[in-house]
Amino acid sequence: MAVGAVYIWTYVYFIMRIYAEKNTETNDETEAQTFPESCTESLLHSKDHSDEDEVPITTSAGKISFMERAFQQIKDFAGKNNLKMVFAPSTIGAIVGFTIGIVSPIRKLMIGSDAPLRVIDSSASLLGEALIPAMTLIVGANLLKGLRRSGVSVGVIIGIIAVRYILMPLSGIGVVKLAHHFGMVGSDSLYQFVLLLQYALPPAMTVGIIAQLFEAGESECSVIMLWTYVVAAFALTLWSTFYMWLLG
């Protein structure tokens, strides 16, 4: 779950951002074409003072240290990528929880009935209980938008549903069985059932949240989420039954 949250808020986030930037550029070009050339020409033609405004670049005689170069590269990377959006609260929480679970001294301080800092674990658990109601509200809002809007053709929706609930579960069977054959997955039937079930689940709601953050593709995402969750009520039941028969 933690790795999946980090994956969605990094890889999927960048894909959605690229789509949003292309969509914005297309809209800007369309708006520019609607105006005549006389409206886009400047009223006053200023002279080119590029030669006068150039400032000589001064370089220091000393060499830049490795730490300064590394810090500059990190600064440039942070400037090009919005790290505040990448490291969302869910991602930060997953990283912190993963670190606490791995480091044994920190885990003993926070987790357990006799832990000195168990109040932190209790507070985090109390806040985590509000996750399900909040996600339910987000799902309901997206599904309601899907009922009001229709920005996706029927063929595209059918194709997405076929890939999501037919091809993905079938490929999941092959992946899990192949991993079990090579000893990467144990013989526990419940563990294999959980792995197989991941391939039959509906799309993650995080994609809808990212679409709302960029304000791009919201209507398409709402329609797709609506029909995939409607079909999930039947597909998840059928695939769960088939998986139990397969592992039994």
pLDDT at 175: 92
CA distance 248 to 244: 6
Looking at residue 18, what is its pLDDT? 75
The residue that leads in pLDDT, 153 or 83, is: 153
Residue by residue, DSSP assigns 175-219 as HHHHHHHTTSS-S-HHHHHHHHHGGGSPPPHHHHHHHHHHTSSHH
Output the pTM of the full model: 0.59
Claim to verify: residue 125 and residue 248 sit in the same structural domain? no
Amino acid identity of residue 16, one-letter, is: M
What angle do the packed helices 205-214 and 218-247 form, to 10 degrees? 170
Between the ranges 18-27, 97-106, 138-147, 233-242, where is the mean pLDDT highest?
Answer: 233-242
Confidence of residue 81 (pLDDT cuts 50, 70, 90): low
The answer as to whether 33 is a domain residue is: no
Share above pLDDT 70 across residues of the chain, in percent, rounded to a whole number: 67
Distance CA 148, CA 156 (A): 18
114 and 185 co-located in one domain: no
**Would residue 144 count as lying in a domain?**
no
Residue appearing with tokens 């899907």:
146
Q: Are residues 86 and 174 in the same domain?
A: no
- What average pLDDT does the structure give for the chain? 75
Any domain includes 236 = yes
Structure confidence by residue, pLDDT tens digits, 17-57: 777 776 665 655 555 555 555 555 555 555 554 444 554 44
The Cα-based distances of 210 to 9, 83, 224, 239 in angstroms read: 8, 14, 15, 29
In a domain, 2, yes or no: yes
Whole domain around residue 201: which residue ranges? 150-248
| Number of domains comprising the chain | 2
Q: Is the pLDDT of residue 157 over 60?
A: yes
Q: Which of 55-69, 155-169, 174-188 has the lowest mean pLDDT?
A: 55-69
Q: Which of 138, 152, 139, 137 has the alpha carbon at shortest distance from 223?
A: 152
Q: What is the pLDDT of residue 73?
A: 73
The CA distances from residue 145 to 36, 149, 219, in Å, are: 36, 6, 7
DSSP state of 117: T
